[in-house]
């Protein structure tokens, strides 16, 4: 769970299908997680239409290694959802060559065309041209509709009052819908009694924007039905901080205590303790108790 305050400032605006980001200061993982959440909300408003980004960097901008990894995942997600170009304005940052190398390399890795400009007015025609080309080819964002086959694999098991999830691969909305329906059947079997969840993720697990939003609803519903604790095992993940940030943040929003463990045996005792504590709290007083 993150224990640091966000470092670095940013402001997001939209101009049609162009999302504008104004950033200043050295950015850490916590700042990038907040940025990622706001960016996802803006992308979702575009409903799968091709879009582009313009980023203007002020003095002191630099990414920590963890922030760079978080931005990598965020850009991959945006490309999957329809981003077709990125413009960088580095004219005001002292470390322009370093920042250009950091962000340009990530764009290159995901096949995202990018260029540098000295102003938004200069960048806008190129960005609109890239959007127009993508719109003309009918290129959709993968997040545009629900008409995709489920991506990502999972297995569900139960052990006492613990639901065990083993997940693999990048996960889209369709996979989360199927997962949510199956897990709801297991939860119904507990008859309203407290339960906990243990989730183990492989190297490639990461959530698309729509999958994260659907999982948020599923977690909120499970918390209402008695989920009292959760464990994330991200020891095999290629992006442990990003995955724990994505999913742990959803548990935080739902008020569900969560921790990370490297194996089920280590996690089981803690989960059962939380279940027992929740059950004792919910239990009506017995004879002679007040």
- Convert the pLDDT of each residue in 93-140 to its tens digit: 877 888 888 888 889 888 889 999 999 999 999 999 988 888 764 444
Mean pLDDT score across all residues of the chain = 80
Dump strand ranges (E) for 64-150: 83-89, 114-116
Dump the DSSP string for 15-47. Answer: ETTEEEEEEESEE-HHHHHHHHHHHHHHHHHTT
Q: Two tokens at 29? A: 């993982």
Q: Two tokens at 248? A: 């742990």
What pLDDT score does 175 carry? 66
What pLDDT score does 117 carry? 92
Which tops the pLDDT comparison, 251 or 60? 251
What pLDDT score does 18 carry? 95
Give the least confident one: 11-20, 60-69, 187-196, 275-284: 60-69
| Most confident range, picked from 9-18, 91-100, 103-112, 255-264 | 255-264
- Given a contact cutoff of 8 angstroms between Cβ atoms, the answer to whether 51 and 183 are in contact is no
Alpha-carbon torsion angle 260, 264, 270, 276, nearest 10: 130
Residue listed under structure tokens 């950091």 = 102
What pLDDT score does 186 carry? 86
Dist CA 37 CA 34 (whole Å): 5
Beta bridge partners of 114: 86
Instruction: Answer whether residue 283 shows pLDDT above 60.
Output: no
In order of their start, the domains of the chain are: 9-136 (3.30.750.24), 153-282 (3.30.750.24)
Query: What would the mean pLDDT of 257-261 be, rounded to a whole number?
Result: 96
Which pTM does this prediction carry?
0.49
DSSP-derived letter for residue 6 is -
| Most confident range, picked from 26-30, 62-66, 172-176 | 62-66
Dist CA 192 CA 138 (whole Å): 48
Using pLDDT thresholds of 50, 70 and 90, give the confidence band for residue 178. confident
Dump the DSSP string for 43-66. Answer: HHHTTT--EEEEEEE-TT-EE-HH
Percent of the chain with pLDDT over 70: 80
What pLDDT score does 28 carry? 61
Query: What would the mean pLDDT of 188-208 be, rounded to a whole number?
Result: 84
Dump the DSSP string for 115-136. Answer: EE-SSHHHHHHHHHHHHHHHHH
What pLDDT score does 39 carry? 84
């Amino acid at each position: 769970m993150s224990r640091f305050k966000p470092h670095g400032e940013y402001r997001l605006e939209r101009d049609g299908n162009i999302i504008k980001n104004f950033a200043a200061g050295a950015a850490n993982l916590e700042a990038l997680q907040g940025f990622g959440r706001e960016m996802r909300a803006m992308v979702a408003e575009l409903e799968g239409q091709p879009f582009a980004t313009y980023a203007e960097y002020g003095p002191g901008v630099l990414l920590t290694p963890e922030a760079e990894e978080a931005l990598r995942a965020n850009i991959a997600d945006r490309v999957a959802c329809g981003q077709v170009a990125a413009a960088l304005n580095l004219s005001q940052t002292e470390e322009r060559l370093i920042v250009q190398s950091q962000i340009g390399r990530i764009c290159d890795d995901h096949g995202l065309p990018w260029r540098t400009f000295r102003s938004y007015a200069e960048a806008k025609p190129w960005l609109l041209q890239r959007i127009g080309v993508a719109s003309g080819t009918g290129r959709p964002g993968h997040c545009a509709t629900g008409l995709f086959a489920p991506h990502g694999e999972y297995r569900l098991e139960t052990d006492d009052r613990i639901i065990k999830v083993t997940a693999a691969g990048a996960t889209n909305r369709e996979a989360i819908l199927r997962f949510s329906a199956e897990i709801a059947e297991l939860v119904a079997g507990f008859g309203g009694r407290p339960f906990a969840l243990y989730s183990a993720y492989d190297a490639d697990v990461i959530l698309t924007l729509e999958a994260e939003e659907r999982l948020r609803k599923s977690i909120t519903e499970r918390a209402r039905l008695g989920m009292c604790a959760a464990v994330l095992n991200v020891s095999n993940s290629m992006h442990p901080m990003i995955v724990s940030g994505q999913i742990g943040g959803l548990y935080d929003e739902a008020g569900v205590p969560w921790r990370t463990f490297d194996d089920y045996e280590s996690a089981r005792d803690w989960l059962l303790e939380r279940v027992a504590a929740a059950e004792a709290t919910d239990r009506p007083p017995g004879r002679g108790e007040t």
